[in-house]
Amino acid sequence: LRAGALAASKALHLYRDRHRSSMMKRASEAFRTITGGAYRGLASQPDGDGEVLVALSADGGSRLAAELSKGTCFQLYLSLRLAGYHEFAASRSPVPFIADDIMETFDDRRAEETFRLLADMAGTGQVVYLTHHRHLCEIARSVCPEAALHRLDEAS
C-alpha cells in the first residue's frame, strides 16, 4: 500500500511538471526575464492540502515566495499579473493593464527588463504605468521610445 501511494505521488508530481499551465509557464518566463536570470522560473509544490509557489534560483535552489526580498516578491507578483493578463487577452478583448508604482523597489536593470515586457504587452492592449519616480520615467523613455509619457502636475 505504501509503495502504491509513493508511486501515485511521484506520478502526480511528474504529471504536474509536464503539464504546467501556460499561465505558469508565461509567469516563469517573465520572472526569469525581470530578474535577469537570477531566478530560472516558478513552480508550485504540495504543502499540506494545497500548494505553495516556489521561486527557482539559477543556482539550482528554491525559495518559497514568502522567503523572497520585498522587491523580488513584487517581481514575482508582477510576473503572475503579466501572465494572467496574457491568458485573459488570449480569449477576450483585452482590457487596459494598469500598475501603480510596482517598480519602486526594483533596481534599474530589473526595471528595464520589466519595461521591455510591458512594451511587448502593449502590442496586445493598453498598458498604463503610474509612478512619481522620475528615474523610472527616464528608464521607460530609453527602453520604450515609442511610449507616450504624460506628466500629471499637482493641482494648484
Query: Could you tell me the residue ranges of all domains in the chain?
Result: 2-143
d(CA 61, CA 147): 37
Superfamily of domain 2-143 in CATH is P-loop containing nucleotide triphosphate hydrolases (3.40.50.300)
d(CA 81, CA 125): 14
pTM of the prediction?
0.81
Question: So what's the pLDDT on residue 23?
Answer: 87
Question: So what's the pLDDT on residue 38?
Answer: 96
Which three cell numbers, joined as nine digits, stand for 137?
520615467
Question: So what's the pLDDT on residue 19?
Answer: 44
Question: So what's the pLDDT on residue 145?
Answer: 94
How would you write the pLDDT of the chain (156 residues) with one tens digit per residue? 667 667 766 666 665 555 458 889 999 999 999 999 999 999 988 888 788 899 999 999 999 988 999 999 999 999 999 999 998 888 888 889 999 999 989 999 999 999 999 999 999 899 999 999 999 999 999 999 999 999 887 654
Per residue, the 3-state secondary structure of the chain, as one string, reads CHHHHHHHHHHHHHHHHHCCCHHHHHHHHHHHHHCCCCEEEEEEEEECCEEEEEEEECCCCEEEHHHCCHHHHHHHHHHHHHHHHHHHHHHCCCCCEEEECCCCCCCHHHHHHHHHHHHHHCCCCCEEEECCCHHHHHHHHHHCCCCCCCCCCCCC
Question: So what's the pLDDT on residue 55?
Answer: 96
pLDDT tens-digit profile of 6-32? 776 666 666 555 545 888 999 999 999
